[in-house]
Amino acid sequence: MREFEFHVPTKILFGSGAEEKTGAAAAAEGAGRVLVLYGGGSAVRGGLVDRVKLSLAQAGIDCAVKGGVRPNPVLEFALETVREYRDQGIGLVLAVGGGSVMDTAKAVAAGLASSAAGMEEAFRGRAPLGAALGVGAVVTMAASGSETSPTAVLSDGRTHEKLICTSPLLVPRFAILNPELTCTTPPLQTACGAADILMHTLERYCADLGGNALTDALAEGLMRTVVEYGPRCLAEPGDYAARSELMWCGSLSHCGLTGLGRDNGFPVHRLGHELAARYDIPHGMSLTILWPHWARAARRVLAPRLARLARTVFGAAEPEEDAASLACIHAVSAWFEGLGLPVSFAQAPMGREEDQVLAQFAARCTSGGTAPLGGLCPLDYGQVLAVYRAANGG
């Protein structure tokens, strides 16, 4: 077994009505005053923000509340929030929402513990993150896994570049997971969330050909669960059991558990961030558009892995590795399409793109052609451009 480190300090409070424990969880962190962040209003419409405020009040915790985080959240909003609340005695930032709200909360927590400028430097990769307040999350959507991850992803609102900051300081201290809260997630977001959850483990699975047997077994079990319950959540949005399975998969898929002992460049995420940033499409959709085409390019190295995935997760019967690896790409693509998600530019809201824009994407993914896109099968500039062209329709 290959060496690894594993430390996920997030306290998970899972179950119906779990948001009523928010106050106690924040008090256990010695929170003092809490800044509650939410998104465009879904958490207000369902009364969730009021329930969270009540729980905090019952624990004797004062709070400030700010909404307005948008999907594909921008750095500028986080900077503005830091400036607004920097002298207000905030001790913990509480996200009530999906990945966009959680990632913004992480950035705000970093900025409040140091400065807006210091936080921006860290997100632009110019300096390490020095400090961050604690973050808590009341999760309303099964998708990003930000509730257990050390990462936050924000966009530069001017250049639309995705800025990624990873630090152990950003791992949330606690996450409230009530699957009922996810039952109102719109179908498109449910589908994109399921795809993102699958991809967090699939990218890790494709980062090695073996080595840690338990890691593989955990990964395959998680992917089988997502493949089964993602479509069930779409068919029966109020199915608590299905929502529970998908939500727990979301939290475990991106905490590192399903990739122990292997390095990962998350190549498809890197490719997809270009699309989500430019076209403002959901993150999960950016991955479904590109994964099949990336997998075809990487198959020369990954065929044994894809063949195993086809058999263990999708029940493929092809005995030959080559045929089974192709069956895998077909099965994953069909699963994405079954969720109603695109597997090409043409099927996506933005439609086909000019070749010169694809060249810009490829250049950014390869540092201007100087560094290959990482992963077990590194792709150079020309190969990355070929992936974008294939996704664009040849």
- Residue 37 main-chain phi, psi, to 5 deg: -115, 140
Q: How many other C-beta atoms can be found within 10 angstroms of the C-beta atom of residue 303? A: 18
Residues 239-258 interacting with ligand NZQ (rule: CB under 6 A): 254
Helix (H, G, I), strand (E, B) or coil at 352: coil
Please report how close the Cβ of residue 86 comes to ligand NZQ at its closest, in angstroms.
23
How far from 122 is each of 110, 117, 281, 348, CA to CA, in Å?
9, 9, 25, 33
H or E stretch at 155? strand 151-155
The one among 23, 134, 136, 145 contacting ligand NZQ by CB under 6 A = 145
The one among 178, 182, 251, 325 contacting ligand NZQ by CB under 6 A = 182
Length of the chain: 394
Q: Which residues, at least 6 apart from 121, have a Cβ–Cβ distance to it below 8 Å? A: 127
The one among 35, 132, 163, 181 contacting ligand NZQ by CB under 6 A = 181
- Residue number, 122 or 152, with CB nearest to ligand NZQ: 152
Q: Which of 182, 191, 194, 196 is nearest to 238 (CA)?
A: 182
- Span interacting with ligand NZQ, options 33-41, 81-89, 297-305, 377-385, rule CB under 6 A: 33-41
Q: Report whether 147 contacts 175 (CB < 8 A).
A: yes
Residues 365-394 interacting with ligand NZQ (rule: CB under 6 A): none
Q: Report whether 341 contacts 281 (CB < 8 A).
A: no
Please report how close the Cβ of residue 87 comes to ligand NZQ at its closest, in angstroms.
27
Query: Any contact of residue 140 with ligand NZQ (CB under 6 A)?
Result: yes
Size of the site for Zn ion (CB under 5 A): 1
Please report how close the Cβ of residue 163 comes to Zn ion at its closest, in angstroms.
15
- Residue number, 193 or 292, with CB nearest to ligand NZQ: 193
Please report how close the Cβ of residue 319 comes to ligand NZQ at its closest, in angstroms.
35
Site pattern 186..225 for Zn ion (x: CB under 5 A): ----------x-----------------------------
Size of the site for ligand NZQ (CB under 6 A): 35
Please report how close the Cβ of residue 61 comes to ligand NZQ at its closest, in angstroms.
23
Q: Which of 109, 104, 94, 116 is nearest to 144 (CA)?
A: 104
Number of helices followed by number of strands (H, E) in the chain: 14, 8
Query: Any contact of residue 230 with ligand NZQ (CB under 6 A)?
Result: no
Q: What sign results for the dihedral spanned by CA atoms 54, 55, 60, 63?
A: negative
DSSP type of residue 70? P
Query: Any contact of residue 146 with ligand NZQ (CB under 6 A)?
Result: yes
Q: Which residues, at least 6 apart from 74, have a Cβ–Cβ distance to it below 8 Å? A: 154, 155, 156, 157
The token pair that represents 235 in the structure block: 């068919």
H or E stretch at 163? strand 162-166
Q: Report whether 257 contacts 220 (CB < 8 A).
A: no
Query: Any contact of residue 269 with ligand NZQ (CB under 6 A)?
Result: yes
Query: Any contact of residue 103 with Zn ion (CB under 5 A)?
Result: no
Q: Could you say which of ligand NZQ, Zn ion, none residue 97 binds, taking C-beta under 5 to 8 angstroms by partner kind?
A: ligand NZQ
- Residue number, 196 or 216, with CB nearest to Zn ion: 196
Binding site for Zn ion (CB under 5 A): 196
Binding site for ligand NZQ (CB under 6 A): 39-43, 71-73, 97-101, 103, 140-141, 143-146, 149, 151-153, 181-182, 184-186, 189, 193, 196, 254, 269, 283
